[in-house]
């Protein structure tokens, strides 16, 4: 018998705030986190802006001597997991440690560390490479550091599935609890790829918006004039618990996670197929897992990257899955405000869905000004919307054709 899984904590670090409620209130207000890049000198770069986390002081969360052992994505993960545990009112005691796990996804990992240490190698030779280089940069050390920090001795894993990484981490954690391999999972994702190679690489692919003169207007999912995504950074973490475990400790339950879908496009390294087959099947798989009919879904947090092909084909996929209901179904892309956190996006957006259920309000798609005839759904344009939503779906699609979808519900007895 599968066990029910609930969400008791959400931790967010984003370009809209270092903290869950700060990020959430700025989302609801429709603020953009995009601004000129400060992490490095952008002279000569075709793209000079991003959605950087502002005012992040690692000393608030991490001992000074430990910081040098961690890439920035790990620091974000530690901060966000701390916020999530605080909201959940959960401390990992020795009694629950063997049944408490950590599962954190990242698509890029420690690009900042890799670039810094490569420079040290080129300038000073191999003796200049830090002994912390490898653990500070590899993807699974976000989970590793969080596990060590909180004494979580249950499943300890990581996903690296491009922009689906943290949605897969949340979904896999859901199944670990449902199948009795853990009672609690600290899960989600983190990313910090606003670096010369990160920005330069995505710009070389022509995936990024080049609206350098108006960064706050650059991310415009589903809008006719979209020209690429805005790279973001940060972390989104959830505390998942088995229902009876959460009840016994008197936890406040924010939402229930009821469905998880996966699919592969088997088509192209970066583009979905023109029939949107992978996106269609991943949503259908998630709904089937949750035992939810399409017409019961009341909000979709879209992958919605602000790229021409993705937005058009995600719209097509939603129409195929939801039929006539698609016309009445609110769909928004919070990447219009947070930027695209790559491997961290799914965790951040799952957390946003939980808060939307909690507060009965749908965050908007900002910068939606000029309708695209191929994107003709209700994208909750420019202003958040009060709504008695009970069932929500969150989509994440990654390079390589790797897709994930999560279904969350308002918790009821």
Same domain, 194 and 117: yes
Residues 6+ apart with CB under 8 A from 222: 302, 304, 311, 315, 333, 365, 368, 372, 375, 377, 379
pTM over 0.85: yes
Same domain, 224 and 197: yes
Q: Is 39 a catalytic residue?
A: no
Same domain, 185 and 264: no
Q: What is the mean pLDDT of residues 57-77?
A: 97
Catalytic member of 160, 187, 340, 375? 340
Q: Would 253 be classed as within a structural domain?
A: no
Report how far apart the first and last C-alpha atoms of the chain are (Å, whole number). 18
Residues 6+ apart with CB under 8 A from 118: none
Q: How confident is the model at residue 365 (pLDDT cuts 50, 70, 90)?
A: very high
Q: What pLDDT, in 10s, does the model give residues 154-173? A: 999 999 999 999 999 999 99
Q: Would 341 be classed as within a structural domain?
A: yes
Same domain, 306 and 170: no
Q: Residue 371's pLDDT is what? A: 95
Q: How confident is the model at residue 37 (pLDDT cuts 50, 70, 90)?
A: very high
Q: What pLDDT, in 10s, does the model give residues 326-360? A: 999 999 999 999 999 999 999 999 999 999 999 99
- CATH number (domain holding residue 65): 3.40.47.10
Separation of alpha carbons 409 and 358, rounded Å:
10
Q: What pLDDT, in 10s, does the model give residues 12-27? A: 999 999 999 999 999 9
Same domain, 217 and 310: no
Q: Would 159 be classed as within a structural domain?
A: yes
Domain end position, chosen among 248, 280, 305:
248
Q: Would 285 be classed as within a structural domain?
A: yes
pLDDT at residue 304 greater than cutoff 70? yes
Same domain, 202 and 291: no
Same domain, 76 and 108: yes
Q: Would 16 be classed as within a structural domain?
A: yes
Q: Which domain holds residue 190?
A: 5-248
State how far Cα 21 lies from the chain centre: 16
Domain end position, chosen among 228, 248, 268:
248
Separation of alpha carbons 189 and 104, rounded Å:
5
pLDDT at residue 286 greater than cutoff 80? yes
Same domain, 42 and 167: yes
Same domain, 332 and 383: yes
Catalytic member of 150, 168, 187, 303? 303
Q: Would 191 be classed as within a structural domain?
A: yes
Same domain, 292 and 189: no
Q: How confident is the model at residue 102 (pLDDT cuts 50, 70, 90)?
A: very high
Catalytic member of 160, 163, 187, 375? 163
CA distances from 64 to 135, 141, 151 (A): 17, 18, 20
Q: Would 373 be classed as within a structural domain?
A: yes
Q: How confident is the model at residue 61 (pLDDT cuts 50, 70, 90)?
A: very high
Q: What pLDDT, in 10s, does the model give residues 217-243? A: 999 999 999 999 999 999 999 999 999
Q: Is 303 a catalytic residue?
A: yes
| Mean pLDDT of all residues belonging to the chain | 98
Same domain, 212 and 322: no
Separation of alpha carbons 48 and 262, rounded Å:
35
Domain end position, chosen among 220, 248, 276:
248
Q: What is the tally of structural domains in the chain?
A: 2
Do 294 and 325 contact (CB within 8 A), yes or no?
yes
Same domain, 235 and 271: no
Q: How confident is the model at residue 1 (pLDDT cuts 50, 70, 90)?
A: low
């Amino acid at each position: 018998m599968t066990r029910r899984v609930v969400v008791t904590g959400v931790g967010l670090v984003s370009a809209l705030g270092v903290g869950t409620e700060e990020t959430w209130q700025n989302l609801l207000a429709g603020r953009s986190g995009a601004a000129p890049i400060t992490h490095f000198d952008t002279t000569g770069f075709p793209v000079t802006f991003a959605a950087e986390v502002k005012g992040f002081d690692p000393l608030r969360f991490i001992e000074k001597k430990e910081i040098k052992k961690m890439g920035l994505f790990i620091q974000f993960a530690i901060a966000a997991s701390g916020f999530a545990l605080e909201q959940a009112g959960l401390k990992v005691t020795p009694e629950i440690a063997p049944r408490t796990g950590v599962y954190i996804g990242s698509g890029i990992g420690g690009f900042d560390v890799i670039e810094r240490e490569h420079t040290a190698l080129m300038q000073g030779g191999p003796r200049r490479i830090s002994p912390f280089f490898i653990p500070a940069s590899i993807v699974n050390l976000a989970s590793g550091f969080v596990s060590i920090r909180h004494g979580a001795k249950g499943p300890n894993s990581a996903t690296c599935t491009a922009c689906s990484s943290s949605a897969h981490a949340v979904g896999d954690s859901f199944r670990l609890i449902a199948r009795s391999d853990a009672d609690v999972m600290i899960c989600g994702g983190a990313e910090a790829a606003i670096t010369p190679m990160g920005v330069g690489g995505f710009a070389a692919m022509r995936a990024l918006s080049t609206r350098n003169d108006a960064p706050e207007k650059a991310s415009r999912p589903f809008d006719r004039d979209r020209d690429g995504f805005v790279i973001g950074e940060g972390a989104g973490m959830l505390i998942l618990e088995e229902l009876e475990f959460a009840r016994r400790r008197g936890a406040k339950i924010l939402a229930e996670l009821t469905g998880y879908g996966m699919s592969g496009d088997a088509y192209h390294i970066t583009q979905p197929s023109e029939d949107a087959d992978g996106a269609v099947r991943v949503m259908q798989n998630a709904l089937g897992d949750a035992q939810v009919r399409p017409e019961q879904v009341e909000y979709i947090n879209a992958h919605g990257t602000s790229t021409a092909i993705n937005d058009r084909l995600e719209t097509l996929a939603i129409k195929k899955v939801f039929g006539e209901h698609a016309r009445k179904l609110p769909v928004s892309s919070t990447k219009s405000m947070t930027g695209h956190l790559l491997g961290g996006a799914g965790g951040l957006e799952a957390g946003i869905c939980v808060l939307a259920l909690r507060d009965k309000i749908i965050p908007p798609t900002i910068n939606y000004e000029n309708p695209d005839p191929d994107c003709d759904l209700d994208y909750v344009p420019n202003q958040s919307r009060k709504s008695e939503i009970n069932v929500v779906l969150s989509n994440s699609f990654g390079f390589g054709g790797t897709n994930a979808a999560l279904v969350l519900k308002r918790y009821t007895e």
